Amino acid sequence: MMSYEMARKLVIGECNVALSKINEYKVEEFINMLFQADKIFLIGVGRVKLELEAFAKRLFHLGFRTYMVGDITEPAITDRDILIVGSGSGESIVPVAIAKKAKKFGGKIIHIGSNSQSSLAPVTNLMLRIPVQTKLYREDEIASKQPMSSLFEQSLLLLCDSIAVMIVDKKHIELKKLWNYHANLE
For residue 185, give Cα distances in angstroms to 53, 63, 108, 164.
19, 19, 34, 24
Query: CA-to-CA distance for 69 and 6, rounded, in angstroms?
Result: 38
5 is catalytic: no
Sheet holding 82-86, edge to edge: 66-68, 40-43, 82-86, 108-113, 126-129
User: Count of CB atoms within 10 A of residue 145's CB?
Assistant: 13
User: Count of CB atoms within 10 A of residue 140's CB?
Assistant: 10
| DSSP run (H or E) holding 56 | helix 46-61
Catalytic residue among 53, 91, 153, 186: 153
Instruction: Say which amino acid occupies 20.
Output: S
Point out the residues that are catalytic: 153
